[in-house]
């Protein structure tokens, strides 16, 4: 297959390296708004290069990967849908709820496959947790703890366009909660604080946040996020049930140390970044996308899935700002119901 990739920043260059190592990829062509950077990445990794994204899209590619900065996702996805090119798009689909709704409607009105990049769905631990819930192994699931704790904050310039900590970080937890439980979020109550760099507050964001989600079957979920996890990159989930409990991410890379005497778990080292933590999952995710692009399987993570996770993040931001519980019924999921929350 001949694959086109737009965006060769940190995640784009990472995806390029992964795609280039997959047997189904005969040629990978990269492009970026910074043509010189795309040419360098192509040369460094032995890939093909397109001088601009317009040339890339017109070059007869079999599938398209969008790994640009967030502002590029929506317009590129629209162009790919118009051209009928199967597309993998990193989250978020768009920067706003209204645009995400519009793209969901557009994608569902045609038959071009779109796969959204929520790589945790391909992590063996999360998939094992999903199986444990679905099989009834845990009995009645009553509580879940989910977290995304980054070791260090991103560059200050990233924060104003990130969408905020719930849309940027916790959205992964919101998606994987749906994936593991098969349930939808009913209500949220969220808060956040900033004890770190001033650039978070300047952008209207926080560096540490927490949310309590109530699922539609009454399960309680606690989701936390921070930009300052000094012990290491720490992404985990604990699922508690009446007959048992299971944890994802509870291994020797755990970014915690025990306060108990004589306990040498974990032995480390801790992960430093999400790319290191989820390297096998990213490879599995892109392998699955190539099957989607080849027409062998349906998308395992649709634009509708991305919309549901984004709606939960949106509800959390409203809850944090207004200091009140927010029902998901207040957050639109279709153009006819879209309106601003007072």
Q: What's the pLDDT tens digit per position in 267-295?
A: 999 999 999 999 999 999 999 999 999 99
Kindly list the structural domains of the chain, giving each domain's residue range(s) and its CATH number in brackets, ordered by start: 2-120+282-307 (3.40.50.720), 123-273 (3.30.360.10)
Sign of torsion over alpha carbons 37, 157, 175, 342: negative
Q: First and final CA of the chain: distance in angstroms?
A: 49
Q: What is the pLDDT of residues 221-236, one digit of tens each?
A: 999 999 999 999 999 9
How large is the average pLDDT for residues 128-150?
98
- CA–CA gap between residue 201 and residue 199 (Å, rounded): 6
Look up residue 55 and give its two tokens.
Answer: 């040339």
What percent of the chain stands above pLDDT 70? 98
- CA–CA gap between residue 64 and residue 290 (Å, rounded): 10
- CA–CA gap between residue 164 and residue 227 (Å, rounded): 11
Look up residue 297 and give its two tokens.
Answer: 């399987």
């Amino acid at each position: 297959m001949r694959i086109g990739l737009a965006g060769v920043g940190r995640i784009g260059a990472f995806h390029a390296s992964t795609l280039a190592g997959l047997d189904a990829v005969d040629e990978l062509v990269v492009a970026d708004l910074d043509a010189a950077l795309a040419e360098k990445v192509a040369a460094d990794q032995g890939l093909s290069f397109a001088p601009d994204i317009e040339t890339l899209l017109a070059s007869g590619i079999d599938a398209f990967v969008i790994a640009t900065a967030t502002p590029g996702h929506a317009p590129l996805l629209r162009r790919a849908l118009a051209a009928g090119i199967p597309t993998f798009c990193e989250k978020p689909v768009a920067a706003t709820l209204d645009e995400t709704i519009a793209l969901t409607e557009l994608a569902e009105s045609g038959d071009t496959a779109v796969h959204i990049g929520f790589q945790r769905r391909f992590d063996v631990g999360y998939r094992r947790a999903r199986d444990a819930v679905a099989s009834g192994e845990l009995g009645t699931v009553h509580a879940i703890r989910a977290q995304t704790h980054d070791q260090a904050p991103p560059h200050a310039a990233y924060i104003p366009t990130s969408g905020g900590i719930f849309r940027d970080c916790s959205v992964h937890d919101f998606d994987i909660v749906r994936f593991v439980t098969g349930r939808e979020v009913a209500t949220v109550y969220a808060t956040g604080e900033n004890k770190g760099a001033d650039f978070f507050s300047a952008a209207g964001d926080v560096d540490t946040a927490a949310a309590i989600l109530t699922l539609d079957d009454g399960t309680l979920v606690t989701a936390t996020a921070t930009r300052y996890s000094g012990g290491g990159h720490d992404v985990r989930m604990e699922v508690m049930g009446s007959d048992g409990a299971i944890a994802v991410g509870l291994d020797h890379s755990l970014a915690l140390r025990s306060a108990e005497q004589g306990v040498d778990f974990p032995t480390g080292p801790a992960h430093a970044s999400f790319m290191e933590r989820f390297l096998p999952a990213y490879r599995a995710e892109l392998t699955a996308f190539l099957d989607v692009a080849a027409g062998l399987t349906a998308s395992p993570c649709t634009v509708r899935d991305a919309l549901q996770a984004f709606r939960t993040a949106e509800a959390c931001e409203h809850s944090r700002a207004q200091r009140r519980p927010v029902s998901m019924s207040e957050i639109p999921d279709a153009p006819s119901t879209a309106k601003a929350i007072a």
